[in-house]
Amino acid sequence: MELKDYQKKVLKQVKLYLESLSREKAKYDRFKAIDPEYDSDFTKKAWVSVTDRPYISKQNGIGEYLPNFCLKVPTGGGKTLLTTYTIDLIQTHYLKKQTGFVLWIVPSNQIYRQTLKNLRNREHPYRQQLDLSSGGRTLILERWDRFSPQDIEENLCVMVLMLPAANRQNKETLKMFQDASGFEEFFPPEDRPADHERLLKEIPNLDVYHGENGLFGIQIKTSLGNTLRKIKPIIIIDEGHKAYSETAQETIRGFNPCIVVELSATPTDKSNVLVSVSGQDLNREKMIKLDLHVINKASTDWKHTLLSTVDMRNHLEKLATEYESKTGKYIRPIALIQVERTGKNQRGQGYIHAEDVREFLIKECGISSEEIAVKSSDKDDIEGIDLMANDCEIRYIITKQALQEGWDCPFAYVLAVLTNSSSLTAMTQLVGRILRQPYAKKTGIRELDESYVFCFRQSSQRVLEAIRTGLLNEGMGDLTGHVVESQEKPKSNKVTVHYRDKFKRFEGQIYLPRFVIQEEGKWRELSYEMDLVSRIDWSEVDLSPIKGLNLSQALRKDEWTDINLSDEEKELIKRTGYKETTVGLEIDYVFITRQLLSIVPNPWVAYEMAESVIEALRERYTDQMIASNLVFIVEELEKQVQNEKDRLAEKVFRKLIEDGILFFFIEKTTAYKLPRRIHVSETKRRLNRDNGEPIQLSLFDYFPEEDFDEMEKKVAIYLDKQEKLLWWYRNLVKNDYYYVQGWKKNKIYPDFILAKKSEEDENDYSKVYVVETKGIHLRENEDTKYKEDVFALCNELGRKMSWNELGLEIGEKPIEFQIIYGDEWEKRFNEIFHARNIEK
């Protein structure tokens, strides 16, 4: 599974911290060995070296400094996947081993079952990542499972534990801290009291039997709790904000962890937040269904709201069926219906009951009973059902509040709120259940990329506030601007900017071409992953440059420098020792494979590449030489595979064009249409000409100055003076702006769209220029060369297409794509517009 850009940034920051932590811990251990009284919080030193975020020092149950950090990730942001990668980073960069013990604490039974199921499934990305980390030696455990020291030495053991079971005060789970068979190997034999005393001195918080009346004196209990205290596990806390009661914190730290990692959408102020992912990060990656539409029905009859919900869900399913026919990806939109009562004896008391809704759906809407499920505290029709399976029929789930946490189905699109208008608590808690995008990828169909809330008898303002609170609770407070209500006005701090009056005739009529795929007589926008990467023949990857690498004959050595405080105040520190040691790396195919997974989506293909390269190098070099150069080999291999991926993606791209599958033109359903209006902050300074006068030829009334860098600002002001320019438009690097998807993953967002005046009609334009500006220092840049090639292809394909054939008003107006450099932009624009400036 290829990581999203924000996930890569998260893991990069985690890696930086762990590397710093490893260095500071090594220093701490050296000083401690010399002076047992030495005391310094190495965890805080590591923290401040990589981030300026606040840090709260913590200690485990035996007073050792406890590394701890929190990843703030919104609901739907892939917390569990990030957890598996974080475990790997801890093992690799801090603990420096492949085996050990992880205690994975979750807050609810729903999340417990879901996590356990996924970790036990060897085909699931979570388990595959753990297997890559452990070299295929992963052992998934529950609280009642027994394990031995040998299991921990030979495997990465992951025990999933529910938070109540980790609570030392929970009477039902005290067995965890009671003496139990199966853990005896971790402790001295009963008849060695001296060994028990030594171990207790080393780990003073072990539970013991006090043996005043016993045969052997103090005896350490052979319990699971004591075993955890002895092995000092990595602790992962899912929904970490729920583990901040005094009892929970005491229990968790009492397990004597070597490191604690929290995952939370809404961490408390006591959490050490290392990285914060915003809702916009997810939105940019197209992982969530936004905008969120709120439909507040005027009717006071809940049945009208339910009918609208059914109509919307049916409409979405029609779109989903068409989408599946084009892409093969199955989506079955689900509506969540929130009622006031679900209990057996609560019907007929003036409240909207689950059975009232079920009956209405079946009798009045003609919906099959197999398509309706009830989820409540005493009835669970979705227990054990894979809601995303093609053979699942469920389309409506009726609940009161049983889906609030831990429940996850990206097929949930619509939320119908049939509850009392005086309480919107459950709406606040349920809104996050409909946000996750199926397959974490936009469909390109607007309605299937958005979500919907239906309600009635509600105050509009209260509904919006409830939903905004819900987004805050899901860690997406920055997305509250994406809540849309029919009557809602734009935020007061934003102003709407329209076309200039003289350009109003073009409003809604300016289209730009995109690369589109033809499937079964219909068109859709090109998808990099689905249309290009999926067609790459990885057997064509040329690894010969890596197989022929010349490795350094000198064995790489670590430099070990000892630092101490200097007697000289000005010098502060001094070097007290230095030595070099031969790097003790091993050839590890799994390590190499992990480095390739961000490029090659299939881990087995990546593994074969690693194996092929190492076997070829072994024909010329010893294993010691290869191991010594392993980092260099991997770095070069990553570069080569990425270059080959780009080459083969381009080959696929051009073949699709040759075969009449991929086209570049303006087609009304897929083409980009310049917006009718833009929204900008009313407090932002407007872009003006050099003499301070307002710009005159921008398509919209004005643009904020902050949208331009220095070169772009000069270009915009220069363009604004061109007599033969009709209008110009500033294009930004944002999802809602124009882009060209080429054969590389990152889209190309040009800087300007220009319209040249028609010689026949000065109020019309004859040609459109799509312009990317580049600093001169980027002229020979690989990215620039790629954009030049894509733009050249756009121009070549554009010349072959008559827009009139497509029935658009753009007529025969040609469109030309250009890259213009910092040392020639004025000359190039003079050539385009024949250099008659408008001086005012």
Query: Could you read off the pLDDT of 377-401 as tens digits, one per residue?
Result: 778 888 878 888 899 999 999 988 7
How many Cβ atoms sit within 10 Å of the Cβ of residue 448? 21
Query: Could you read off the pLDDT of 203-245 as tens digits, one per residue?
Result: 999 988 865 445 567 889 999 999 999 999 999 998 877 776 7
Strand partners, 582: 557
Query: Could you read off the pLDDT of 701-757 as tens digits, one per residue?
Result: 888 888 888 888 889 999 998 889 999 999 988 778 899 999 998 899 999 999 999
Whether pLDDT at 334 is above 90: yes
Estimate to the nearest angstrom the gap between the alpha carbon of 722 and the chain centroid: 44
What CATH number did the domain enclosing 168 receive? 3.40.50
Asked if residue 395 belongs to a domain, the reply is yes
| 824 and 681 co-located in one domain | yes
Cα separation, 336 vs 125, whole angstroms: 28
Strand partners, 483: 292
Question: Residue 473 belongs to what domain range?
Answer: 281-488
| 19 and 145 co-located in one domain | yes
Cis peptide before 291 (omega within 30 of 0): yes
Handedness of CA 610, 615, 617, 622 (dihedral sign): positive
Residue type, 432: G
Cα separation, 672 vs 738, whole angstroms: 6
| 636 and 697 co-located in one domain | no
Asked if residue 515 belongs to a domain, the reply is no
Asked if residue 525 belongs to a domain, the reply is no
| 251 and 118 co-located in one domain | yes
Q: Give the model's pLDDT for residue 433.
A: 75
Give me 314's structure tokens. Answer: 């049916």
Whether pLDDT at 496 is above 80: yes
| 596 and 729 co-located in one domain | no
Phi, psi of 337 (to 5 degrees): -120, 115
| 480 and 542 co-located in one domain | no
| 248 and 137 co-located in one domain | yes
Asked if residue 377 belongs to a domain, the reply is yes
| 619 and 600 co-located in one domain | yes
- Which domain-ending residue is among 241, 259, 277? 277
Quickly state the pLDDT bin for 315 (edges 50, 70, 90): very high
Tell me the mean pLDDT in the region 64-87: 91
Asked if residue 213 belongs to a domain, the reply is no
Query: Could you read off the pLDDT of 281-310 as tens digits, one per residue?
Result: 777 877 777 777 878 776 667 888 898 899
Query: Could you read off the pLDDT of 137-180 as tens digits, one per residue?
Result: 999 999 989 999 999 999 999 999 987 655 555 544 455 666 66
Handedness of CA 523, 524, 525, 529 (dihedral sign): negative
Tell me the mean pLDDT in the region 121-132: 93
Asked if residue 509 belongs to a domain, the reply is no
In three-state secondary structure terms, 553 is coil
Smallest Cα–Cα separation from 429: which of 437, 419, 438?
A: 419
- Which domain-ending residue is among 604, 635, 656? 656
Q: Give the model's pLDDT for residue 407.
A: 65
- The vertex-570 CA angle with 567 and 574, nearest 5°, equals 50
Asked if residue 495 belongs to a domain, the reply is no
What CATH number did the domain enclosing 375 receive? 3.40.50.300
Query: Could you read off the pLDDT of 92-120 as tens digits, one per residue?
Result: 999 999 999 999 999 888 788 889 999 99
- Which domain-ending residue is among 638, 656, 674? 656
Cα separation, 789 vs 560, whole angstroms: 48
Cα separation, 427 vs 421, whole angstroms: 11
Tell me the mean pLDDT in the region 433-452: 83
| 687 and 645 co-located in one domain | no
Smallest Cα–Cα separation from 402: which of 354, 346, 465?
A: 354
Asked if residue 364 belongs to a domain, the reply is yes
Tell me the mean pLDDT in the region 514-532: 87
| 617 and 714 co-located in one domain | no
Cα separation, 335 vs 372, whole angstroms: 10
Quickly state the pLDDT bin for 834 (edges 50, 70, 90): confident
Q: Give the model's pLDDT for residue 25.
A: 94
The DSSP secondary-structure symbol of 832 reads H
Average pLDDT over the chain, rounded to whole?
Answer: 83
| 648 and 713 co-located in one domain | no
Whether pLDDT at 807 is above 70: no
| 638 and 750 co-located in one domain | no
Quickly state the pLDDT bin for 561 (edges 50, 70, 90): very low
> How many domains is the chain built from?
4
Give the largest CA-CA distance in the chain: 110
Which residue has better confidence, 486 or 98? 98
How many Cβ atoms sit within 10 Å of the Cβ of residue 162? 20
Give the ranges where 505-629 is alpha helix by DSSP (H): 544-547, 589-596, 603-618, 623-628
The answer to whether the CB of 364 falls within 8 A of the CB of 303 is yes
Tell me the mean pLDDT in the region 368-384: 86
